[in-house]
Amino acid sequence: MKIGELATRAGVSPRLVRYYEQQGLLAPTRQANGYRAYDEQHVARVIRIAGLVQAGLPTRLVKEVLELEDAAADERPSCPRTVADMLAHELTGIEERIACLSRSRDTIRDYLARTEHAALLSEREAAPA
């Protein structure tokens, strides 16, 4: 598939796909005419990359995480101490953001439950994810 279809299926822009490639996060094959060619594995990888970036990981750490996941899938030992230190530091930040989001969610849920908008809360909780 071409870059536009990959981007659409992964829910990102073609420009972001190119950026991921520039950062070494994605390696498409090249056709004889030089066009990028992608497959289903690329779709899953772009979705994974976008999810990690949206979770707050910088692309330099996304690359490390993807390499660790690839190594684990191949049952290869990996993760040098420097990478482990970076990941531990990043994990602290992620946990702090999760705690902040959880507090915000609880505050909003409590507010809605105590107002005439309680029905909105009930509808949201009943809706499938």
Centre a 10 Å sphere on the Cβ of residue 83 and count the other Cβ atoms it contains.
15
Domain count, the chain: 2
Lowest mean per-residue pLDDT among 33-37, 50-54, 61-65, 73-77 = 73-77
Quick one: pLDDT band at residue 78, thresholds 50, 70, 90?
Answer: low
Q: What per-residue confidence (pLDDT) applies to 77?
A: 63
Indicate if 74 and 15 belong to the same structural domain. Answer: yes
Same domain, 59 and 99: no
Predicted confidence band of residue 86 (pLDDT cuts 50, 70, 90): confident
Domain identity same for 31 and 74: yes
Residues 7 and 48 occupy one common structural domain:
yes
- Considering the domain architecture, whether residues 17 and 46 belong to the same structural domain is answered as yes
What average pLDDT score do residues 2-20 get? Answer: 95
Residue 74 has what pLDDT?
65
Residue 18, CB-side half-sphere exposure with 13 Å CA sphere: 6
Whose CA is closest to 5, among 35, 48, 33? 35
